[in-house]
Amino acid sequence: MSITYKKPTLHDIPAMQQLVAPEIESGVILHRSNDEIATNIRSYFLALDGEKLVGFVALHIHSPILAELRSMIVDTGYRGQNIGSSLVQNACDEGRRLGLKEVLALTYQQRFFERLGFYEIPKESIPEHKIWADCIKCKHFPVCNEVSLIKTL
């Protein structure tokens, strides 16, 4: 197995949707339409095993200071192989290159992100436009048990 990381093209969207579908169905990840992914395609990073898509994450910029990791997924058969860590690292490296100061994650996987240098923050400190733009689309809203974490770059 040789995992490579790259930026996607619009042709990758069907494979991305297929990989993330089970996590959307279970309510762990928010649904993003093909058009929404296409509009934000430059924010994604892919992990590939040969030609097979095995993971991805998006770095969504909220302000000149803050970005958020979104829609992070690793194929169940590839978990535990540091692919998720590498995706987060790629996104954080780009955030640093762009001049961001912080990266936010809303997640059910608190320990994973803490191992990568994130620390918990109160949800109330997240920008309101983030909460209302995404959280109201979630099947768990308004009763949410995701944890808010942030990392200083």
Q: What is the pLDDT of residues 33-91, one digit of tens each?
A: 999 999 999 999 999 999 999 999 999 998 999 999 999 999 999 999 999 999 999 99
Whole-model pTM: value is 0.89
Quick check: 16 and 34 in contact, CB under 8 A? Answer: no
Condensed to tens digits (0 to 9), the pLDDT of residues 124-143 reads 777 655 555 565 555 545 45
Residue-averaged pLDDT of the chain: 89
From first CA to last CA, the distance across the chain in angstroms is: 30
Percent above pLDDT 90 for the chain = 73
Q: Six-digit token pair at 148?
A: 């808010």
> Which residues partner with 106 through β-bridges?
148
pLDDT for position 123: 77
pLDDT for position 68: 93
